[in-house]
Chains A and B, each alone.
Chain A
Amino acid sequence: MTDTSVTNISGSLRRRLAITLIVGICIFAVLLFFIIRLYAAQIAQQSQDSILSASVTSMLDAAKVRDGQVAMDIPYSSFSMLATPQDDRIFYAIYQDDQLLSGYESLTLPETYNNTGTVFRSIDFMDTPVRQVIASRTLSGLTTPAALIVTVAQTQDNLSVTLRDIAKNAAMIVLGFFLLAVVFSAWASSTTIAPLNRLTQSVTRRGPKDLRPVTRPVPAEMAPLVSSLNHLMQRLDDSLNQSEQFITEAAHRVRTPIATVRSHAEITLQRVDKEENRQALKAMIRATDETSRAAGQLLDHAMISLRASQLNSEPIDLSELIQELVRSLTPVADLKDIEIRLDAAPDVRIHGDSILVQNAVRNLIDNALKYSPTESTINIQVRANPKPSIVINDQGDGFFHDEKDKLTDRFSRGRNSTGTIGSGLGLTIANDVAKAHSGSLRITNNHNGGACVTLSF
C-alpha cells in the first residue's frame, strides 16, 4: 500500500514506544520483586524475633533466687513455642553477669551488650546462620544485685523456606503483572500510532489530482506536520495550476498573432501574380505554420509532461475515441483526397487519460497525413488482442531503418521530412503518452514501404 521504496526509514515510532514502555516496566517489575522480598523478609524476621523474645522472656520469668543461688526451671513452652515444621535447632545460654550458668558456652553475648533491654542479631553459630536474642533481668535477693542474661538462638531454615515461598509467589505475581503490562504497552503504542496510520491511509488513498488540504481531526502533536503537508500540497496545486494557465495563455498569445500573419499572407497571395513574390509569400505561410505547430507541440509536450506524473485514470473506449478523431481529421484528409479507413474492434477499453491518448493518436495521424501522397489511403486498426493497440499504416515512403530509434527523441525528424512542416515532437509526444500509460510505440515499415506505427497499451 505505502511505497516505502523511496523513503529513508530510521526506526519505528511504534516499536520505539513499545520498547521504552516494556523496558520501563521490566525495571519496575524487578524493583517490585526485590521490594516485596525485602519487606517479606523483614516481616518474617519480626515474627521470628517476637517468638524468640517471648521465649527469652518466659525463661527469664522462670528464674528465681533460691538460697542465694540462681535457680531456673526452663519451662517447656519456652522451647516448644519455637518449634517449626523445618525442625529448626535452638541454642541457649544463661549468664549471670559474665559467667555462664547453663547452655552453650560458645553462644556468646555481643560485646556491646550493656545488660539492659532486648537485643536481636543475626550471626553464624556453628557454621549456621542463626538469629539470636539477648535479654536480661536484674536479680534481687542475692548479696549483690546481679544481671541474669538469657540468650536464645534459632536456626533460620523455616524463615528461609518461608522467604523462598514468598519470593516464588512474588515472582509469579510480578511476572503476571509484567505480561499484562507488555500487552498493555503494545496496545498503547498501537493506539498512539493509529491516527498517524489513518492520516497516511487517507493521503495514500487520494486520487492523483486530489490536492485538497487534509481536514480530518488529528492529534495536537501531528498538527504541525499536517499543516506543513497541507501547505506543501497547496503550493503544489498552485504551481500546477499556474503552469497549466501559463501554457494555455502562452498558446493564446502566440497563436493569435501568427493566425493574423497567416491569414494576411494568404489573402495577399490571392492578389499577387509575380512568381517570386508568390514564392516568398508561400515561404512565409510555411514558416507561420511551422512556428505555430512547434509552439503548439512544445506546449502540448510541456502539458503532457506536467500531467504524466499525475495521470488521470478513467476508462477510455479506444474505438470510440479513434472514431471521433477520424471524424475530426477527415476534412483535413479530404484536402489531399486521402481516405482514412478505420477498422475498429468494438469495445476496446483501457484505463488512462483520454486527452493525452487523443493527443498522441492525433499526432500520429497528423504525421501519416503529412507524409502520405495525394489520393492514398491511411489504414487505422484498433485491436483488442493481444494488447489494446492502435495501428496506423500509410502509403508514404516510410521510415529509414537506421533512424527509427532516434525519431522519438525531441526535435528529431526523419530524412523524409524535407519540405514537410513539423517540429519533430509528434512522435516524442506519442512516445511519452505511451510510456505514461506503461505502453509502447513501435515504428516499422509495412510491406508496401509505407510507415506503420503501433501504439499499444
Chain B
Amino acid sequence: MKFLLIEDNQELAGAVVSRLQLDGHVVSHANGIAEANSYSQAEDFDLILLDIMLPDGDGRDFLQQHRASEKHTPVIVLTARSEVSDRVTLLDLGADDYITKPFDHAELQARCRAVMRRKSGAAQTVIRLRDLQFDPVSGQLVVNGITTALRNRELRLLELLINEPGKIFSKQKLFDRLFSYDDDVSENAIEVYIARLRKHLEKSCVSITTLRGLGYKLDDDQCD
C-alpha cells in the first residue's frame, strides 16, 4: 500500500517509515501541511497518516482542505493530545480513525485495515496465487470457489507469508507479527495458527512447509 505520512518529528517519522517499509509498504513522508499538499496533489495514496500539531499549521486544517477537495483517501490521525480534550472533534472533522501516540504498530495496521475495509471495499486488494484468492483487507480467502473468512491472526500470518512465497520466516518473526508484547505466551503458540492455516489451504495448490529449526515458508507448487 502507498502511505503518506505527515509528521514533523523527524525521529518518529523515520521510525514509522522504516516500520511500514519493513511490512512492504511504500511510504512518502511530508514534514508539514505545504509539503503534504504537494504530495497529495501529485500522487494518489491509499492512506494518509496525519499528525495534528504541525509546524506550519494545524493538521485539522489539512483535513478540512483534503475533504473539501473531494479526495476520498482515508485519513488516520496520529494524536499525542489528551483523549479527553481532542478525540471527538477529530472524527467530526472527517478523520476516518485516530490512534494515540505512542502506538502499537500492529494496532496501526489493524486500524488501517479497518479503514480500508470501510472505505474502498475489497476489489483492488485481492492477492492471487495459483488457485488462491486472498483479500488481506476483508480477510476473505477463496479456495476452489469456496470462501472462508479468516480470523485476524490467521489473516495477518497468511498476509506475511503470501507476500513472499518461498521465503523462510522464522518463528520469531511470525511471533512478533502476531502477538503483542505483553502477551505472555511462548513462541510455540505460533504452531496453532500454522495448523489452522494449513487446514484452510488443504484443498489448494498452496501449502505451508515447516523447516525444522528455521521456520516456515509458503509453497505454491503442490499441483505441479
> What residues make up the interface of A, taking CB atoms closer than 8 Å to B?
244, 247-248, 251-252, 254-264, 266-267, 269-270, 273, 278, 282, 285-286, 288-289, 292, 296, 299-300, 303-304, 307, 324, 328, 330-332, 334-337, 354-356, 358-359, 362, 374-375, 419-421
Q: What 10 pairs across the A-B complex have the smallest Cβ distances? A: A263-B15, A259-B102, A331-B110, A259-B101, A255-B80, A334-B152, A262-B102, A260-B12, A260-B11, A252-B80
A-binding segment of B58-66, B123-131, B177-185:
B177-185
**Distance of A189 Cα from B100 Cα, bound (Å):** 61
Does B9 lie at the interface of the complex (its beta carbon under 8 Å from any beta carbon of A)? yes
Report the minimum CB–CB distance from A249 to chain B (whole Å). 9
> Which residue in A255, A289, A324 is a CB contact (below 8 Å) of B182?
A289
> Which residue in A247, A256, A257, A270 is a CB contact (below 8 Å) of B85?
A247
**Chain A residues, CB < 8 A from B170:** 273
Report the minimum CB–CB distance from B135 to chain A (whole Å). 15
**Distance of A288 Cα from B105 Cα, bound (Å):** 13
- Cβ–Cβ contact A354 & B88, under 8 A: yes
**Chain A residues, CB < 8 A from B110:** 331-332, 334-335
- Which residues of B from 47 to 71 have beta carbons under 8 Å from A? 53
Do A299 and B88 form a contact, CB below 8 Å, given A262-B102, A335-B106? no
- Cβ–Cβ contact B82 & A247, under 8 A: yes
**Distance of A362 Cα from B87 Cα, bound (Å):** 12
Does B44 lie at the interface of the complex (its beta carbon under 8 Å from any beta carbon of A)? no
Additional A-B contacts beyond A248-B82, A296-B100 (12; CB < 8 A): A254-B80, A256-B9, A256-B80, A259-B12, A259-B101, A264-B11, A270-B173, A273-B172, A300-B82, A331-B113, A331-B114, A337-B152
**Distance of A359 Cα from B87 Cα, bound (Å):** 10
Does B111 lie at the interface of the complex (its beta carbon under 8 Å from any beta carbon of A)? yes
**Chain B residues, CB < 8 A from A334:** 110, 114, 152
- Cβ–Cβ contact B82 & A251, under 8 A: yes
**Distance of A286 Cα from B180 Cα, bound (Å):** 9
Q: Can you list 10 A-B contacts (CB < 8 A)?
A: A248-B82, A259-B101, A266-B105, A282-B181, A296-B83, A299-B84, A337-B153, A355-B84, A374-B153, A421-B182
Does B37 lie at the interface of the complex (its beta carbon under 8 Å from any beta carbon of A)? no
Kindly supply a per-residue 1/0 record for chain B positions 82-112, scoring 1 wherever the CB is within 8 Å of any chain A CB and 0 otherwise: 1111111001000001001111111100110
> Which residue in B53, B151, B152 is a CB contact (below 8 Å) of A252?
B53
Nearest A residue (CB) for B175: A278
Report the minimum CB–CB distance from B132 to chain A (whole Å). 22
Does B18 lie at the interface of the complex (its beta carbon under 8 Å from any beta carbon of A)? yes
- Cβ–Cβ contact A248 & B152, under 8 A: no
> Which residue in A252, A263, A335 is a CB contact (below 8 Å) of B81?
A252
**Distance of A69 Cα from B46 Cα, bound (Å):** 152
Q: For chain B, which range describes its interface: under 10, 10 to 19, 20 to 34, or 35 or more residues?
A: 35 or more
**Chain B residues, CB < 8 A from A419:** 182, 184
- Cβ–Cβ contact B176 & A269, under 8 A: yes
**Distance of A254 Cα from B102 Cα, bound (Å):** 10
**Distance of A117 Cα from B152 Cα, bound (Å):** 135
**Chain B residues, CB < 8 A from A252:** 53, 80-81
> Which residue in B83, B84, B107 is a CB contact (below 8 Å) of A335?
B107
**Distance of A34 Cα from B126 Cα, bound (Å):** 112
**Chain B residues, CB < 8 A from A264:** 11, 15
Does B119 lie at the interface of the complex (its beta carbon under 8 Å from any beta carbon of A)? no
Do A356 and B84 form a contact, CB below 8 Å, given A259-B12, A328-B97? yes
**Which has the most chain A C-beta neighbours within 10 Å: B15, B53, B91?**
B15
Does B16 lie at the interface of the complex (its beta carbon under 8 Å from any beta carbon of A)? yes
Nearest A residue (CB) for B185: A374
**Chain B residues, CB < 8 A from A269:** 176
- Cβ–Cβ contact A355 & B152, under 8 A: no
**Chain B residues, CB < 8 A from A259:** 12, 80, 101-103
Nearest B residue (CB) for A359: B84
Nearest A residue (CB) for B9: A256
Nearest B residue (CB) for A370: B182
**Distance of A2 Cα from B91 Cα, bound (Å):** 39
Report the minimum CB–CB distance from B125 to chain A (whole Å). 16
Does B223 lie at the interface of the complex (its beta carbon under 8 Å from any beta carbon of A)? no
**Chain A residues, CB < 8 A from B53:** 252
**Chain B residues, CB < 8 A from A358:** 87-88
**Distance of A161 Cα from B130 Cα, bound (Å):** 135
Nearest B residue (CB) for A263: B15
Does B146 lie at the interface of the complex (its beta carbon under 8 Å from any beta carbon of A)? no
**Distance of A21 Cα from B184 Cα, bound (Å):** 83
**Chain B residues, CB < 8 A from A296:** 82-83, 100
Nearest A residue (CB) for B173: A270
Does B42 lie at the interface of the complex (its beta carbon under 8 Å from any beta carbon of A)? no
- Cβ–Cβ contact A300 & B19, under 8 A: no
